[in-house]
């Protein structure tokens, strides 16, 4: 039972265009969400997060949008760069910043940014 779903295993985007990575969740108790980025042969690294009291959080080229009613969040990368090519994992936790050992990860989306 996958509580955090990333239904697109892969996404290909042209350099300079917008990349939109989607994540859906089923547990209404989730109230804190994170995105991690993973390059091949490396461990995931934290990218950006959002709490349920917000519907948008922005950090440079990266913006995460949260739609609580739809239990959906998305990561926007604008403009996309070849160096953004990586696997992106969505993760969720409950009880506002609940314990890190309760993080639930999605299956990841492989983003390929074409030059």
Applying CB under 8 A, the residues found at the interface with another protein are: 2, 4, 9, 32, 34, 36, 41-46, 49, 51, 89, 93, 96-108
Q: How far is the CB of 74 from another protein (least distance, A)?
A: 17
Q: How far is the CB of 61 from another protein (least distance, A)?
A: 19
User: How far is it, in rounded angstroms, from Cα 22 to Cα 65?
Assistant: 10
User: Omega before 79 cis (within 30°)?
Assistant: yes
Residue 38 in tokens:
């993973």
> Which lies closer to another protein via its Cβ, residue 15 or residue 74?
74
Find where tokens 């969740």 sit: 25
> Which lies closer to another protein via its Cβ, residue 50 or residue 80?
50
> Which lies closer to another protein via its Cβ, residue 84 or residue 106?
106
Task: Please enumerate in sequence order all residues whose Cβ is within 8 A of that of 109, keeping only pairs 6 or more positions apart, or say none.
Answer: 6, 8, 9, 10, 11, 21, 22, 87, 88
Q: How far is the CB of 48 from another protein (least distance, A)?
A: 11
């Amino acid at each position: 039972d996958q509580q955090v779903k990333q239904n697109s295993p892969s996404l290909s985007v042209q350099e300079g265009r917008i990349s939109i990575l989607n994540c859906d969740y089923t547990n209404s108790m989730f109230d804190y969400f994170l995105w991690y980025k993973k390059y091949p042969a490396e461990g995931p690294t934290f990218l950006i997060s959002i709490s349920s009291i917000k519907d948008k959080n922005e950090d440079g080229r990266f913006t995460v949008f949260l739609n609580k009613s739809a239990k959906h969040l998305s990561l926007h990368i604008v403009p996309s760069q070849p160096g953004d090519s990586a696997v992106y994992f969505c993760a969720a936790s409950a009880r506002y910043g609940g314990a890190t050992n309760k993080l639930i990860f999605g299956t990841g989306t492989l983003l390929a940014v074409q030059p």
